[in-house]
Each structure stands twice: as structure tokens, then as C-alpha cells.
Structure 1
Amino acid sequence: MDYQKTAKELTTLLGGKENIISATHCATRLRLVMKDEDLIDKEAIEELDGVKGAFSSSGQFQIIFGTGSVNKVYEPFARETGLETDDENQKPVSHDEAVKQKMNPLARFAKTLSNIFVPIIPAIVASGLLMGLLGMMKAFNWADPSSAIFQMLDMFSSAAFIILPILIGVSAAKEFGGNPYLGAVIGGIMIHPNLLNPWGLTEAKPEYMHLFNFDIALLGYQGTVIPVLLTVYIMCLIEKNLRKVVPNSIDLLVTPFVTVIVTGFVTFIAVGPLGRILGTGISNALTYVYDHAGFLAGLIFGGTYSLIVLTGVHHSFHAIEAGLLNDIGRNYLLPIWAMSNVAQGGAGLAVFFLAKRAKTKEIALPAAFSAFLGITEPVIFGVNLRYRKPFIAAMIGGALGGAFVVFTKVAANAYGLTGIPMIAIAAPLGLQNVVNYVIGMLIAVAVSFILTIIFKVKEVEK
């Protein structure tokens, strides 16, 4: 693949560099905000070497190149379009700001949550995966839990969840326009060693202190999400408003000092307890639906999750999943999302066997394999949506798989991993949990594969 040539051809097919407001890329896709999407030659773009699909969603025109290729295309593309320049006056508007300007309020809220949680997913995945592997080693007697190395690895695995408020504090402060290091300080205050750590504790009760006629529980916020988000949002408001009135000569001393002091008091007196109640309420409501709607909830969520992926707001669910882990110690939503993901892979695999065009086969097989590992965008946008029937077949497969994992109470001990890798974070909850998860995957993949074969696909020969 000639990346320079692809970048040049892509710029032309997008309507020229004047039609591009901003651009960035994720692990698999080039994400563009355009002035006029009617100027885009979508069909020609999809025929470019290396392109696995293109679609418009959430205020962005997105082009799928796949892992390892998209970043190599982006570099010459940025040079070609003038997105990389040393002149601050010539640089385009921030990509996130350009995207948000094209979104409705609900989509902007979901995008904000996504921007906060996506950067910290690697830390959660690393900890969850290690926790899962240790759980398997303990369950199958592969290692001595009292050994020094096991205890050390156990500390490694729980660290990300314990310091989650600090991680969220940094990421949220960046998103809300505040100082990320002040966000880290606020997160650190919320998990101070003098506060009782509730993470992993059930019976322990905190002490209280009396301040300003308030009884304040000396209870930490380890593992919590909503209290930290609310607190850091308020911190950023305080910081930005202070910078408007504090003289520049003393800004460095006064603004951080006042921001931390005021935010700290507000956190323990009002925002923290309120956020804890709100987060617990959301978890309890979801658990009530999960316990009483049974397999019907899995049927609906598993069947519709792929539609949510189309909107791009699915990353915002990480906030809810993190809350579940803190409140009840297990994530029962992730297995449902996983069924939807592998079902898309099953449908994509069927398209590989049905397709006659070499380009379709070239895209379908690696895209399907990617879905089995939890990355669904290539198979959804590059294969299944293009032929529609495979996407519908995958929704049905995801619904049935989702119903099964809910019926059998499958759960995970982290978030961020679906597909085959999720086995590692399902293992700590027992062997039967893993077995039921694998059966659910087989149901989702088999149903979507068979239905796609029955529905067939109609290729347009070129």
C-alpha cells in the first residue's frame, strides 16, 4: 500500500482540503469533520487500496483502514491537507470541538463521557486482565496465593481500580477545560489514606467528623465514577472563573490554592455524597431491571447494541459499568455487549464464504476476526451494513446470545474487553461463568452465521 498516494487520492475524493474542517484517527478509523459531505465521493473512497469501508456518523465522516494502517495513512494525509502546521493561526479548530458543534445535546453529553473514559481503558483492561489471569491461576491451583509473586501481582491488578478517581480526575479535567494535575489532586483527596477504603469491603463502617453543622463520613471514593465526574466538573468551573478575576501576577499562587480548598470542602459536604447516592441509584435501577426482566433484557440489549455502536455513543457506557463494579462488584452488562460484538463477527464470516468479489473477501475475514477480539467497527461498517442482511442477522444472533448470558447470570470483573479476551475477566467469577459465556458466544456466532447464509448477500459487480 502506497500511503502517500492513498492520502493524495483521498484528499481529492473528499472534495479537496478546503472541504475538511478537522481530522483525527482512532485505532481503526480516520475520523473527519467536513464542511459539505455532499462533495464526498463515498463509492470511490471505498474502492481505494486499503479502505475497508466508509460511513457518516455522529457528525463525522469515518473511513476504516484497520489497525496498523490508519496511523500510517494519517501522517501523509495531515501533510497533504495542511492539518499539520507550525503556524498556530493556520491550525484548524479542535477536532472534538468541531465534532460537538454538529451534535445534539444528548450526543454531546455521550461524546464527553466517551472522551473521558476511552483514554483510561488501557489501564482498566490491563488490571482487569491481570485480575482475571490471577483468578484462573487460583481457581485451578496453578499458583500458591500466599506466594510473594502472587501477592505482588494481586497488588498490580487492583491498583487501577483503587486509584480510578485519580485517573478520571486527570481525564475529566482535560475534557472540561481545567488543569489535569489539579484534577489528579482532587481525585487523590477523594481516596486519601485517612478515609475508609470501601473498595472490596462490605461490613466496615466509617467514622464521622462534625464540620459546619454537617456530619461527614470519613469514607473514600475508591472505584467510584459519578462523584468524581461531578466534583472535577465543579473544580473546572471554579478554576476557570478564578482565572478571569485573579491578576496574572499572582494567578499561579492563588488560583490552584483556592480551587483545591473550595472544591475539597464542596466535595465532602455535598457533591461527593450526592454523587454516591446518584451512582448507587443508577446501579440499583439497572440491577432491578436485570433481575426482573431476565432474559428479555438480554434479548433487547443484545439485539440493539449494534445500533448504539452506529451512533458512536457506546463508549459512554463505561461510566455505568465502572459504577456497577464499585457498587455490586460485577459487570453484567459487558457480556451482553460481547454477544452483540461476536454476532457481528459471525455474520461477517458468513459473508466471507458467500462473497465472490476479492475485495469483499479481503475485508470480511480479518474484520470478522477483529470482531471476535472485540473490535467491531471494521465488520459493521465495512461488511455487514453494506449488505444490510448480515447486520440484521447479527442483531438476531446478538439478541439470542444476550438472552442466554442474562439467563445464566454471566458477569465480568472489569470492562473494556469483549469477545474471546473477555474470558480472562469472566474467569474470576467461576468456571461455570466462563462456560456459560463461551456457550453464549457460540449461540450468537452460530445464529448470525446461519441466518446470513440463509438471507444471502447481493454484491454489486464492478
Structure 2
Amino acid sequence: MDYAKIAQEVVEAVGGKENIVAAAHCATRLRLVLKDEGNVNQGKLDNMDAVKGTFSTGGQYQVILGPGIVNQVYKEFTAVTGIMEMSTEDVKDAGAKNLNLFQQFVKVLSDIFVPIIPAIVAGGLLIGLNNIFTAPSLVIAGKSLVEAYPQAKDLAAMINTFANAAFVFLPILIGFSAAKRFGGNPFLGATLGMIMVHPDLLNGWNYGSSLAKGEIPAWNIFGFAIEKVGYQGTVIPVLAASFIMAKIEQSLRKIMPSALDNLLTPLLTVFITGILTFTVVGPITRSVGNLLTEVLVWLYTTGGFIGGGVFGLLYAPIVITGMHHSFIAVETQLLANITKTGGTFIFPIAAMSNVAQGAATLAVFFVTQNSKMKSIASAAGISAVLGITEPAMFGVNLKLKYPFIAAIMGSAIASAYITFYKTLAIALGAAGVPGIISIRSDSVLHYMIGMIISFIVAFGLTIVLSKKYENVK
């Protein structure tokens, strides 16, 4: 390939170097922040053999080139434009200026939760491994593995301890990540999280039963009773407290003499935030978080398969807007309260949507006579079935429109099915075929059937609809 020529053509197609604010690349995509995306010559990009697809999200205009190619094109791209090489984080920050308030809020949630997802995934998968040992009739009829082989009891208990750690101490992880995102000291954020789950406090999961019995311990300070309640497994309280902590720290550093800054700023920050957390922020946000979880679970349980089908229908359009990143906080809350919720229903529905997008793209591979589209569809379809949908959705399905319609229909029907059978996940992961390992043991069969339904409906409907569209040749 002539990488210099490709870079020059991309620059011209996106409105010239004067329209480019920032540029970086990831494994497959050229990530650009443009002054005005209206200046993009979409037709020219679509006709370039090297370009596998394009889409706009999060204030960035992204050009899909593929692994290996994007690295070479990016080198030539920076040479042509004179733009210095940047990291994807730098481009994210530049692109944030193009976002509206809601998009900025979703981006903040994404920035906080994406770094801690590996810990949550590890904990959830360990819970699944523990279930293999303790679930009755899963491996041996009428018995669990622990009952059949008592010598494995301690191994299962150890795995359970490892599994629960990320959720018991979740506020520490969120406190660190959130404080860093909000511009505060991340270690003070972690300290705040530690305070919120300190063993001297009433365990947060026992708060409801203790409240009913009237047995809530409290600090009595100057005539005020402050409840000594922990925030294990919570999300919203530590998010709010971390934001307040970061702002208090920033304010103190502006007025604190430099000689006293390192001594008094951390002290006052932790003390003031701690008091606010247990008197105002914590009690209010705990109620909000519990209400949000209960509403979602209520919608899921009472809306039945119809509600699940609607969610499955809308999931891919939500992904287009980027709003799906806000689900991370909700799923984290559901998983943190897994003994009450049983797991998250969002992950399985996301998987149904991803498989449907992949199936529709693979159907395009078989019906199209366009060699470039066929090349894109083959790799993008497989990627989507495995859980990565951007190349399929933006490179094929949305471009042709009818495969996207077929995909959301397949997702809706499959989501209705898995909702009817209350299919839940106990961990996050790749929302597709590999997601089987994240599914609760009693839901695995229905998850697999749901994927088959999603694939068949989306694939078949794409074939049918393709006969009515002239752009498939």
C-alpha cells in the first residue's frame, strides 16, 4: 500500500488539515477531532479501498483502517498535517469540547468505570467458578461438587473470598478512579473509599434488616446522631463523595500557604469530606442508588419479555449515541448487590444485540457483489459475534441500513426470549459468544439459545430485505 497517498486522501476527505484539531490512533482506527464534521466528504472516504468504515462518537470522527495499516497511515498522516503525535487520551480530552452536557456526563462515567472493569470482571468470573463448586445438580445430579467431594470445600471457600473482594471494597476502587477523574488526589479518593467500608461500621448489606429492627449504631456528637453505616457494594454515594472531595481539595490548595499545603490540605480534605459523606451525601445517595436499582429490577421483572424485547430493540441505537457507557454504573451496582439482584440483565441483552449485528453483517458478505463490502463484512461480522461491533455496525450495517433493521429485530426477539427465562450475568466481559463464561450457571442454556435466535433472525431477515434494495449488487 501507498500509505502516504492514503494519508493524503484521508486528510483531503475530512476537510483538509485546517479542519483537524487533534489526531491519534488505536489498534484499528484513526481517531480525529474535527472543527466541523460537516466538511467531511463522506463519499470520498467510502470509495477508498483502505477505509473499512467511518463513524462519529464521543466528539471524535473515527476512520476504520484495520490493524497494522492504521499505524503506517498515522505516521504519514502526522507528516502531512504537521500535527504532533498524540495519545488516545489526549484526543478524548480534545473531543470532549464537542460534546453536549449529557454526552460529557456519560464520558465521565466511562472514564471512571472503564479502568476498574478488569477487577469487576475477575470478581464476577470467580463467582461463576465458585458456583460450579456449590450449585446443586450442575455437574452431579442432586448434589453440588462440594457435597460430593467435601475435600473441595475449602477451595470453594477461598475462591468465594477472592470473588467477593472487588465488590466488598468497591468504593475504594471507585474512589481512586473517580478522584483521579475529577482532578483530586486518587490516593485520598481511595482513603475515602476505605472510610466508607471500614469494619467499624455496620455492614452496608445489613442496613435494611438492622433498620427494621431499630438497631442502627450511631456516633453521638454535640447532640447529633450520625449513623455508623458502611457503603459496601455502592456506586452513587462514593461517586458523589469523590466529586465533593476533589473540589474541596482543589479549593484548599488555592488558599493554603505552601508551607502548610502538604500537611493541612489532605487532613482537612479527608475530615470535611468524611463528615459530609456520613451526614448528607451518603444517606441521600444511598437512597437514590437503591431506588435506581430497584426500579430497573422492577422494570425487568414486571415488564417481562415485552420490556426485554424493547430494550433489545433499542440497545444498538443507544450504542450509536454512546449512552450505553452509562450502563456500566448500573451494571456495577447490580453485580455488587448480586445476592439481591441475582446478577445483571443488561449484559445478556447487549450480547444478543452484538450477535445480531454480527449475523446481519455476515449475511451481507453472502449477498453483496461489492468486493470491498464483502472484505469488510467478513472480518467485521466475526468480530461482532465475538463482542466488538463498531466495524460491523458503522462499516456495514448502518451504511446499508437494511442490515441494521434486521439486526435490531433479531436482537429484540432474542432479548425477549432470554428475558422470559430471566437470563442473568454474574460478571462483565465480551458481550457475545465468549460471554458464556460470564453467565449464571442456570442461565447458560437460555443464553446460548438466545444467541442462536438472534443470529438466525438477523441473518435470515437481512437476506430477505437485501432483495428489495438496489444498493446490493
What TM-score, normalized to structure 2?
0.86
Q: In 1, distance between residues paired with 2:274 and 2:7? A: 49
Q: Which has the larger radius of gyration?
A: 2
Q: For residue 253 of structure 2, what is the amino acid of its counterpart?
A: R
The correspondence for 2:184, drawn from 168, 175, 178, is: 178
Bigger Cα displacement from structure 2, 199-208 vs 21-30: 199-208
Q: Cα deviations across residues 332-386 of structure 1 (Å, max 9, x unaligned)?
A: 2222222111111111111111122222122112211211222111110011111
Partner of 2:405: 392
Q: In 2, distance between residues paired with 1:221 and 1:76? A: 51
CA distance 1:179–1:212, shift in 2 (3 Å): same
Q: For residue 181 of structure 1, what is the amino acid of its counterpart?
A: F
Q: SS state of the match for residue 439, structure 2?
A: helix
Say if 2:377 and 2:396, in contact at 8 Å, map to a contact too: yes
Number of matched pairs = 455
Partner of 1:166: 172
Does residue 1:346 correspond to 2:325, yes or no?
no
Q: Cα deviations across residues 87-117 of structure 1 (Å, max 9, x unaligned)?
A: xxxx999534432322222222112112211
Say if 1:332 and 1:410, in contact at 8 Å, map to a contact too: yes
Does residue 1:453 correspond to 2:463, yes or no?
yes
Bigger Cα displacement from structure 2, 205-214 vs 120-129: 205-214
TM-fit CA distance, 1:6 = 4.5
Q: CA RMSD in A?
A: 3.1
Say if 1:21 and 1:92, in contact at 8 Å, map to a contact too: no
The alignment-based identity, stated in percent, is 48
Say if 2:78 and 2:84, in contact at 8 Å, map to a contact too: yes
The correspondence for 1:104, drawn from 100, 105, 124, is: 100
Does residue 1:20 correspond to 2:20, yes or no?
yes
Q: In 2, distance between residues paired with 1:445 and 1:371? A: 11
TM-fit CA distance, 1:409 = 0.9
Partner of 1:319: 329
CA distance 1:351–1:326, shift in 2 (3 Å): same
TM-fit CA distance, 1:234 = 0.5
The correspondence for 2:417, drawn from 401, 404, 411, is: 404
Bigger Cα displacement from structure 2, 227-236 vs 200-209: 200-209
Say if 1:28 and 1:378, in contact at 8 Å, map to a contact too: no
Where in structure 2 are the equivalents of 1:197-236 lying within 5 Å? 197-198=203-204, 207-236=217-246
**Long gaps (5+) in structure 1:** none
The correspondence for 2:277, drawn from 253, 257, 267, is: 267
Where in structure 2 are the equivalents of 1:18-417 lying within 5 Å? 18-25=18-25, 28-48=28-48, 50-66=50-66, 74=74, 77-78=77-78, 81-84=81-84, 94-136=90-132, 138=134, 139-140=138-139, 146=152, 149-198=155-204, 207-327=217-337, 328-329=340-341, 330-417=343-430
Q: SS state of the match for residue 294, structure 1?
A: helix
Q: For residue 61 of structure 1, what is the amino acid of its counterpart?
A: Y
Q: For residue 445 of structure 1, what is the amino acid of its counterpart?
A: F
Say if 2:133 and 2:145, in contact at 8 Å, map to a contact too: yes
**Long gaps (5+) in structure 2:** none
CA distance 1:71–1:274, shift in 2 (3 Å): farther
Where in structure 2 are the equivalents of 1:408-427 lying within 5 Å? 408-427=421-440
Q: In 1, distance between residues paired with 2:415 and 2:327? A: 17
Q: In 2, distance between residues paired with 1:362 and 1:124? A: 36
CA distance 1:72–1:129, shift in 2 (3 Å): farther
Q: SS state of the match for residue 331, structure 1?
A: coil
Say if 2:369 and 2:472, in contact at 8 Å, map to a contact too: no
CA distance 1:254–1:78, shift in 2 (3 Å): farther
Bigger Cα displacement from structure 2, 345-354 vs 133-142: 133-142
Does residue 1:439 correspond to 2:449, yes or no?
yes
CA distance 1:173–1:375, shift in 2 (3 Å): same
Q: In 1, distance between residues paired with 2:240 and 2:381? A: 39
Q: Cα deviations across residues 244-263 of structure 1 (Å, max 9, x unaligned)?
A: 21123322222222111111
Q: In 1, distance between residues paired with 2:305 and 2:70? A: 39
Q: In 2, distance between residues paired with 1:52 and 1:151? A: 49
Say if 1:214 and 1:269, in contact at 8 Å, map to a contact too: no
Bigger Cα displacement from structure 2, 197-206 vs 400-409: 197-206
TM-fit CA distance, 1:53 = 0.6
Bigger Cα displacement from structure 2, 33-42 vs 352-361: 33-42
Say if 1:302 and 1:402, in contact at 8 Å, map to a contact too: yes
What TM-score, normalized to structure 1?
0.88
Q: In 1, distance between residues paired with 2:93 and 2:178? A: 15
CA distance 1:126–1:254, shift in 2 (3 Å): same
Q: Cα deviations across residues 120-178 of structure 1 (Å, max 9, x unaligned)?
A: 22222233233324433554267868355544443333332233212212221222222
Say if 2:466 and 2:472, in contact at 8 Å, map to a contact too: no
Q: For residue 135 of structure 1, what is the amino acid of its counterpart?
A: N
Q: For residue 128 of structure 2, what is the amino acid of its counterpart?
A: G
CA distance 1:23–1:126, shift in 2 (3 Å): farther
CA distance 1:333–1:212, shift in 2 (3 Å): farther
CA distance 1:155–1:82, shift in 2 (3 Å): farther
CA distance 1:254–1:404, shift in 2 (3 Å): same
